[in-house]
């Protein structure tokens, strides 16, 4: 082989990889796409969390209403996370002793002054905007009034005033 051919062969083999500038450009583009996708992902995650909570809340409310229809009275007040007596089967969903989809603990509240009976969540950890979204989907959209209200340490869905 002549020296000229060797030079050409080396030049071809050295062009096979990507340059640092090309790699950095791809990383920047991927980063920009991720920045655009993250807000949509967070919104859909919050919507799913709110929907799951609403479903669990409705199941819990229906369980207590059914209990009252069958017995003629609501169960006694319990501490957060404790299932009322005789309601183990009715409160399989929501899982009363587990953390709620919005954080915090389920609570059965009876004779609380402002209302007589309600399903509450003590210590929710989601932002107020998610609670507002939940309220707008199941009630009047105002956390200070209606069936779904904010309390000092959480939220409550009032079954009976």
In terms of residue numbers, what domain contains 127? Answer: 3-160
pLDDT tops 70 at residue 8: no
Cis peptide bond prior to 94, omega within 30° of 0: yes
Q: What is the mean pLDDT of the chain?
A: 88
Look at the chain and report how many structural domains it folds into. 1
**What is the mean pLDDT of the segment spanning 133-144?**
93
State CA 113 to chain mean position distance: 29
Task: State residue 5's pLDDT score.
Answer: 57
How does pLDDT run across 103-124, given as a tens digit for each residue?
Answer: 999 999 999 888 999 999 999 9
Task: State residue 37's pLDDT score.
Answer: 85
């Amino acid at each position: 082989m002549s020296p000229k051919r060797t030079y050409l062969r080396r030049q071809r083999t050295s062009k096979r990889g990507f340059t640092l500038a090309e790699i950095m450009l791809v990383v920047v583009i991927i980063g920009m796409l991720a920045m655009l996708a993250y807000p949509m992902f967070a919104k859909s995650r919050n919507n799913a969390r709110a929907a799951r909570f609403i479903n669990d809340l409705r199941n819990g409310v229906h369980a207590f209403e059914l209990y009252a229809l069958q017995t003629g009275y609501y169960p006694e007040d319990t501490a957060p996370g404790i299932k009322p007596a005789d309601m183990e089967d009715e409160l399989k969903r929501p899982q009363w002793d587990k953390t709620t989809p919005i954080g915090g603990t389920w609570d059965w509240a009876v004779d609380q002054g402002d209302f007589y009976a309600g399903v509450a969540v003590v210590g929710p950890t989601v932002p107020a905007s998610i609670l507002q979204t939940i309220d707008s989907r199941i009630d009047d959209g105002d956390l200070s009034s209606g069936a779904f209200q904010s309390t000092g340490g959480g939220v409550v869905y009032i079954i009976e005033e």
